[in-house]
């Protein structure tokens, strides 16, 4: 007798008796007893088999990091790179920052950080976005790179001292310099578009001019080193008073929508300006 059958019959003495006398019992009874014994053995066998263990699912690896995604820039720091306000440059300047020359013949990048991009301008609650070259009134201003004229304030009218003071009062109340007010304070200006290089649009601004060269008109092409205007003080407090004091060229380089040096430490700004413009 199978072990499972003996276990089943041990639970019921009556069934055990029937099973032992199964050969003398009627055929129907014998058939029923045998079937019950077989079913009980089957069920007991199923109960004795341990349930299958769930197979652990393999852990999914995390998604790719930014520098592993095709087309995405790496966020890991790279040796030999500097921040330039919106772009990172290797030891060798990228193509869109190469080929510039000084906008003032014989000039050098000033040593005073107050004249660099990123310096605070408390009087208007803003930030300086270019580099100032203090040279005599009327000094020729040169195109720092060949490009197309996209703005030339030939008909600029100087502000009155009262109006300029009202604008400065608005900056104090707002705690910043709105773009339209800043644009007025640039005075007479020229903007050149140097095109798109490696996906970066580059423009330059020449501000506080006393005059704009007659050949400089919107849409005109100018070559590097060509005279585009003359140093002045338009847009400044001295210009509003009608004097020639505080004459200087305010010069900006923009890469896409950020000025050169934006977000950098001042020591880095000076080094970058000297690399881009040369001159010292």
- Condensed to tens digits (0 to 9), the pLDDT of residues 111-134 reads 999 999 999 999 999 999 999 999
Tell whether 87 is covered by a domain.
no
Could you tell me if 111 and 30 lie in one domain? no
User: Which phi and psi (to 5°) does residue 171 adopt?
Assistant: -65, -35
pLDDT at 278: 84
Tell whether 70 is covered by a domain.
no
**Mean of pLDDT values over 79-106:** 73
Could you tell me if 30 and 104 lie in one domain? no
Tell whether 82 is covered by a domain.
no
Tell whether 235 is covered by a domain.
yes
Q: Please give the structure tokens belonging to residue 234.
A: 């338009």
- Condensed to tens digits (0 to 9), the pLDDT of residues 141-172 reads 999 999 999 999 999 999 999 999 999 999 99
The string of DSSP letters for 67-131 reads: GGSTTPPP-S--TT-EE-SS-EE-SSPPGGG-S---SSTT----S-GGGSTT-EEGGGTEE--SE
pTM to 2 decimal places: 0.69
Could you tell me if 35 and 162 lie in one domain? no
Q: Please give the structure tokens belonging to residue 99.
A: 């080929």
Q: Please give the structure tokens belonging to residue 85.
A: 């306000």
Could you tell me if 143 and 265 lie in one domain? yes
Could you tell me if 210 and 137 lie in one domain? yes
> How many domains, in total, are found in the chain?
2
Tell whether 81 is covered by a domain.
no
Dihedral, 184, 249, 238, 129 alpha carbons, nearest 10: 50
The number of beta carbons lying within 10 Å of the beta carbon of residue 233 is: 25
Tell whether 38 is covered by a domain.
yes
- Condensed to tens digits (0 to 9), the pLDDT of residues 161-206 reads 999 999 999 999 999 999 999 999 999 999 999 999 999 999 999 9
Tell whether 69 is covered by a domain.
no
Could you tell me if 105 and 244 lie in one domain? yes
pLDDT at 63: 36
Specify the residue for token string 């050098």.
108
Residue 224 sits in which domain range?
A: 92-277
- Condensed to tens digits (0 to 9), the pLDDT of residues 3-39 reads 555 554 455 555 555 555 555 556 655 566 556 555 6
Could you tell me if 24 and 98 lie in one domain? no
Q: To the nearest 5 percent, what fractions of the chain are helix, strand and coil?
A: 30, 20, 50
pLDDT at 92: 86
| Contact status, residue 131 vs residue 117, Cβ threshold 8 Å | yes
């Amino acid at each position: 007798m199978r072990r499972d059958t003996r276990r089943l019959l041990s639970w019921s003495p009556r069934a055990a008796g029937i099973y032992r006398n199964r050969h003398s019992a009627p055929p129907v009874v014998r058939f029923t007893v045998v079937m019950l014994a077989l079913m009980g053995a089957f069920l007991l066998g199923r109960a004795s088999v341990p349930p299958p263990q769930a197979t652990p699912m393999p852990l999914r690896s995390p998604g790719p990091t930014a520098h592993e995604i095709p087309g995405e820039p790496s966020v890991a720091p790279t040796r030999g790179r500097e921040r330039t306000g919106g772009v990172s440059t290797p030891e060798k300047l990228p193509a869109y920052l190469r080929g510039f020359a000084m906008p003032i013949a014989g000039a050098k990048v000033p040593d005073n950080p107050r004249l660099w991009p990123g310096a605070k301008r408390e009087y208007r609650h803003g930030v300086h976005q270019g580099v100032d070259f203090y040279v005599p009134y009327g000094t020729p201003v040169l195109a720092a790179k060949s490009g197309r004229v996209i703005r030339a304030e030939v008909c600029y009218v100087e502000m009155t001292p009262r109006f300029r003071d009202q604008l400065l009062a608005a900056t104090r109340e707002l705690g910043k310099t709105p773009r339209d007010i800043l644009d007025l304070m640039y005075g007479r200006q020229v903007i050149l578009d140097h095109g798109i290089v490696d996906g970066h649009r580059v423009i330059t601004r020449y501000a506080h001019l006393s005059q704009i060269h007659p050949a400089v008109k919107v849409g005109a092409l100018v070559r590097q080193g060509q005279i585009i205007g003359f140093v002045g003080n338009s847009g400044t407090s001295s210009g509003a008073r009608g004097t020639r004091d505080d004459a200087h060229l305010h010069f900006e380089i923009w890469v896409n929508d950020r000025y050169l040096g934006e977000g950098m430490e001042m020591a880095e700004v000076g080094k970058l300006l000297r690399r881009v413009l040369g001159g010292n």
